[in-house]
Amino acid sequence: MKQILLSAVILLCVSTNLFAQHSVTKLWETDTLLKVPESVLLDADNNVLYVSNINGTDGWAKDGNGSIGKIGLDGKIIAVDWVTGLNSPKGLGMYKGKLLAADIDEIVVIDIKKGVIERKVPIEGAKGLNDISIGSDGIVWVSDSKNNVIYRVNNDRSSVYVQNLKGANGVLKRGNDFFIVDAGSVLKVNDDKTVTKISDGMEGGTDGIENFTGNDFLVSCWQGALWYVHADGKKELLFDGKAQNTNTADIGFDPKTKIVYVPTFFRNSVIAFQVK
């Protein structure tokens, strides 16, 4: 009898864990002084967030109006235009004291300590660079949403790595693994460049992807949705801002605190959510 009860308790615990739901709690939202923020990136060493400002209704304009802003971890805007001289910057990445921004057809390299543009790296054939992820070896992976390809950039030299996608956007290089979000799906790109689908059925404007824990991910959709995607492909809707016209563009994430930072695009703010 004791053995039966023990087995029942174990089964109940396992079942409860399998169906545990994640949720988010809003911690803060910045003032609406940002300029169409598209991407947010945490700089844990300096305790700040960087945000890319498109600054215009045309997200692909080469107008010189774009900038990078800086936000405190308390949600206070330190500088709206910390670095200027960009066009329509989107995805951000960091490597060895440099901040990299995807900017239409080039990667802008910024010296973080000096707060100035160090150089711009043109990507041959690029038309709509969007998200960036940088491996531990310094190799840059960047999506092109207009050509629907992923570029691999090594020592400022680029080559097409994956092509024939449907809506190439968020990219994530994690160790030896490489993930992308593409037209409502989360995909894993294998070493031989074949693609394995992990999950689908999300809004077509899948935008950002961050590793939450293990093989689980957080995925944002530009129209206004934040999803938790399990390793087995099951997903949970954490936030739906469509009714309030709150876009959810390229998210940033702090794996230590489990806080996700969401740029709201046309709402001109960044929201911090605690994920539980």
What are the boundaries of each domain within the chain? Answer: 24-275
Least confident of 64-68, 191-195, 257-261: 191-195
Q: What is the pLDDT of residue 20?
A: 56
Give the per-residue pLDDT at 5: 43
- For the domain 24-275, what is the CATH code? 2.120.10.30
* Distance separating alpha carbons of residues 103 and 187, to the nearest angstrom: 24
pLDDT at 116: 98
Mean pLDDT of the chain, nearest integer: 94
In sequence order, the 6+-apart residues with CB closer than 8 A to the CB of 157 are none
- The stretch 104-133 carries a mean pLDDT of 98
Neighbour tally for 256: CB within 10 Å: 8
Per DSSP bridges, beta strands 157-162 and 98-103 are unpaired
Q: What confidence score (pLDDT) does residue 40 get?
A: 98
Residue-wise pLDDT for 213-266, tens only, equals 999 999 999 999 999 999 999 999 999 999 999 999 999 999 999 999 999 999
Of the chain, the percentage scoring pLDDT greater than 90 comes to: 92
